[in-house]
A and B are shown apart, each in its own frame.
Chain A
Amino acid sequence: GQNIDQPTEMTATEGAIVQINCTYQTSGFNGLFWYQQHAGEAPTFLSYNVLDGLEEKGRFSSFLSRSKGYSYLLLKELQMKDSASYLCAVRAENYGQNFVFGPGTRLSVLP
């Protein structure tokens, strides 16, 4: 995606905590989304941030700082089934209010 960066790959251990970062450059910001995509499957929605701060949803939390153009997805108590790609997507005026997806971070959870 345009001006959206994520680490390509990450590895973590079952039961641990992992933080996946996303940085973006945009104007007219109107929301940041995190999606999970298992291999061979469609992306599924995880979280949405439009205001600064932390949104918690079970084992997953997402943080946003609009002034820094920065977000992270925090996964706690990792399980093997969390092995997937995590896509950050931004909606903004300079994207025509479309969703622009980042390249995704492939997370491998090891036993």
Chain B
Amino acid sequence: DAGVIQSPRHEVTEMGQEVTLRCKPISGHDYLFWYRQTMMRGLELLIYFNNNVPIDDSGMPEDRFSAKMPNASFSTLKIQPSEPRDSAVYFCASTLDLLRDRVHEQFFGPGTRLTVL
């Protein structure tokens, strides 16, 4: 398997523009997580899905952020409108069923480095 795939790897945009980040989890994984990482706040969970259904979005900072998972192999994180404080690295991660897999290790994608000017 190619691992978790994210696109784009880098995104530079201007304040007010819409940004869409994409993620393809590892095939067969039931859980998908979106994280944001900054120097100031570290690695923060934004939202996670189980079998394509959003389970906990309490980490989503504002209504400007939304996430969807239309099928088991694709998820998007959208920011509209974007602001400079949204600049961060956004990671997607996936894992097997938390009940079936004893260790339930999370596998991370390479991340998308977002810069909002």
Contacts and interface: CB of A to CB of B under 8 A. Distances in A.
A43 B103 contact: no
A63 interface: no
A9 B1 CA distance: 35
Interface in B43-78: 43-45, 48, 56, 58
A97 B105 CA distance: 13
Interface of A: 1, 31, 33, 41-45, 48, 87, 91, 96-104
8 contacts: A31-B104, A41-B110, A91-B104, A97-B98, A98-B48, A99-B33, A101-B44, A104-B43
Nearest to A46: B105
B25 interface: no
Contacts of A87: 43
B43 A42 contact: no
A50 B45 CA distance: 21
Nearest to B92: A42
